[in-house]
């Protein structure tokens, strides 16, 4: 089975969660009617329970044209920007190599309020464009101020800024919000219509946003902060997360507490048996609700700004997802894990906005087809050198392709500074695309109502097998 979090495009979230034939537990019924935020209060540490209980969150949908978008004095710019789902060949300007105008881009287009649906927090203090990969969200200033305080406290690479437009939703006037890079920033990272987050892979983006000193290191946070352990995922999994999943699967007596979970995660032995199947079947239909709520995992994971989510697939020997009944074969499009950083939440504390991205490695495929052919045809039209090039053969390996691609680009480029270095045109063209993917981040909104949590939405996407979701934060400093 191919487990490729960093090579697959996301499937749209929000698909119906697969049903289960198992009778739901009392906790599952409570979650269905009250939401994960309310249930988590039952198992929070004493200090957490002493706080006033947060209201149940519901994310409501508002159709375009049903909210106030009357321009306010001095406002300008787009209300919403839509980001295309796949890269296309476009004639772009700027960047290197200067003589090559064809680029791979995720197309952006402005969307007016009349055509922009919203997903609105129940308390009305924030709203997100209701499309797959929105490039902005709207919020009251207090949401932004609170979020920035938390982001600064962890040393995040971004802060939130408002400006340009505002909309009226219910009793609130919401401001357009976008990120700005404040740490490890370069002049180039702040140029263009959207800032570059400097990285595109999900875990690297999330780690930089939660203030981690390492691009693949985060701290799992259990029990509302009562305990935790380090996460250092490999290309497709994390051993500590796997061991925790094994402990959850074995907890038939509902006695696994935070200390026991940390001990299990940090143990030295791999889980015995078929981990994916045992964990998936154990958690299916609310089978470990009390344990999950006590540990603050899965649908009860509730990070705040400056923290994030990490979801991991637990692979079964038969390659199926046993967290649903009947078990499902998800095919090859299964992610080993996905990370998403929380950058804001509604004032009532139960609706989270994440800033996410993922590696978009379609460059080679596009270069082999559309971009290569477009450049080659342009070269044939503008000069006679094309007859000296060797044709691209199906039997060519990657290196042979790159060599021939370099010939095409080198012939197109007239800038002597670019032509001098063999391979530089291709490298610069690919770097340009990779920089563009770092600007292809997007926001998502998750809530505390039934089906609204990060875990439930991601599990329903079909891109994870037997998933486990953890709250993650900045790890302790050190090697």
Main-chain phi, psi angles of 269, to 5 degrees? -110, 145
Q: Is the per-residue pLDDT at 24 higher than 50?
A: no
Cα–Cα dist 206/296, whole Å = 19
DSSP class of residue 114?
G
Angle at CA 441, nearest 5°, toward 197 and 177?
90
Output helix, strand, coil percentages for the chain, rounded to the nearest 5: 35, 20, 45
Give yes or no for residue 237 having a pLDDT over 80.
Answer: yes
Nearest by Cα to 35 from 52, 62, 55: 55
Of the two residues 402 and 386, the one the predictor is more confident about is 402
User: Distance between alpha carbon 5 and the CA centroid of its chain, in Å?
Assistant: 11
Between residues 332 and 335, the one the model is more confident about = 335
Q: What angle do CA 337, 30, 49 make, to 5 degrees?
A: 80
In the beta sheet, which residues pair with residue 128? 119, 137
Bond from prior residue into 30 cis (ω within 30 degrees of 0): no
Given a cut of 80, is residue 391 above it in pLDDT?
no
Amino acid 414: pLDDT: 75
Q: What is the pLDDT of residues 409-455, one digit of tens each?
A: 777 777 777 777 767 777 777 777 888 889 999 999 999 889 999 99
pTM for the whole structure: 0.83
Burial class (CB within 10 angstroms; exposed 0-12, middle 13-18, buried 19+) of 284: buried
Question: Measured in Å, how far apart are the chain's first and last C-alpha atoms?
Answer: 33
User: What pLDDT, in 10s, does the model give residues 249-259?
Assistant: 999 999 999 99
Radius of gyration of the chain measured on its C-alpha atoms? 24
């Amino acid at each position: 089975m191919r487990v490729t979090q960093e090579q697959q495009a996301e499937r749209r979230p929000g698909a119906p969660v697969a049903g289960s034939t198992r009778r739901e537990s009392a906790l599952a019924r409570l979650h269905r009617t009250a939401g994960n935020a309310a249930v988590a209060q039952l198992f929070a540490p004493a200090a957490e329970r002493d706080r006033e209980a947060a209201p149940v969150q519901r994310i409501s949908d508002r159709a375009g044209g049903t909210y106030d978008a009357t321009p306010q004095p001095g406002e300008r710019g787009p209300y919403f920007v839509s980001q295309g789902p796949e890269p296309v060949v476009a004639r772009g300007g700027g960047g290197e190599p200067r003589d090559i105008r064809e680029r791979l881009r995720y197309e952006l287009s402005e969307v007016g309020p009349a055509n922009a649906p919203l997903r609105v927090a129940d308390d009305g203090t924030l709203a997100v464009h209701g499309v797959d990969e929105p490039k902005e969200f709207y919020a009251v200033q207090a949401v932004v101020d609170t979020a920035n305080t938390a982001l600064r406290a962890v040393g995040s690479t971004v802060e939130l800024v408002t400006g340009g437009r505002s909309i009226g939703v219910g009793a609130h006037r919401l401001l357009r919000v976008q990120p700005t890079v404040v740490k490890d920033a370069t002049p180039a990272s702040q140029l263009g219509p959207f800032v570059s987050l400097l990285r595109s892979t999900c875990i690297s983006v999330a780690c930089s946003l939660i203030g981690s000193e390492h691009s693949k290191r985060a701290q799992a946070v259990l029990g509302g902060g009562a305990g935790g352990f380090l996460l250092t995922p490999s290309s497709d999994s994390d051993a500590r997360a796997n061991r925790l999943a094994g402990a959850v699967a074995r907890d038939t007596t509902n006695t696994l507490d935070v200390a026991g979970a940390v001990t299990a995660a940090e143990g030295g032995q791999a889980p015995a048996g078929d981990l994916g199947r045992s964990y998936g079947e154990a958690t299916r239909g609310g089978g470990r609700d009390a344990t999950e709520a006590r540990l603050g995992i899965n649908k009860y994971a509730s990070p705040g700004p400056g923290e994030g989510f990490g979801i991991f697939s637990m692979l079964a020997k038969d390659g199926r997802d046993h967290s649903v009944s009947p078990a499902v074969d998800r095919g090859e499009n299964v992610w080993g894990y996905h990370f998403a950083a929380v950058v804001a939440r509604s004032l009532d504390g139960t609706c989270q906005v994440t800033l996410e991205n993922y590696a978009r490695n379609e460059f080679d495929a596009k270069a082999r087809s559309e971009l290569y052919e477009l450049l080659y045809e342009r070269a044939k039209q503008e000069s006679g050198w094309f007859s000296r090039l060797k044709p691209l053969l199906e039997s060519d390996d990657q290196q042979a392709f790159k060599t021939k691609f370099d010939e095409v680009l080198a012939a197109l480029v007239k800038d002597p500074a670019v032509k001098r270095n063999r391979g530089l045109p291709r490298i610069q063209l690919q770097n340009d695309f990779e920089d563009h993917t770092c600007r292809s981040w997007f926001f998502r909104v998750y809530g505390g109502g039934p089906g609204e949590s990060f875990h439930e939405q991601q599990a329903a996407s079909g891109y994870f097998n037997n998933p486990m979701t953890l709250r993650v934060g900045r790890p302790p400093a050190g090697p």
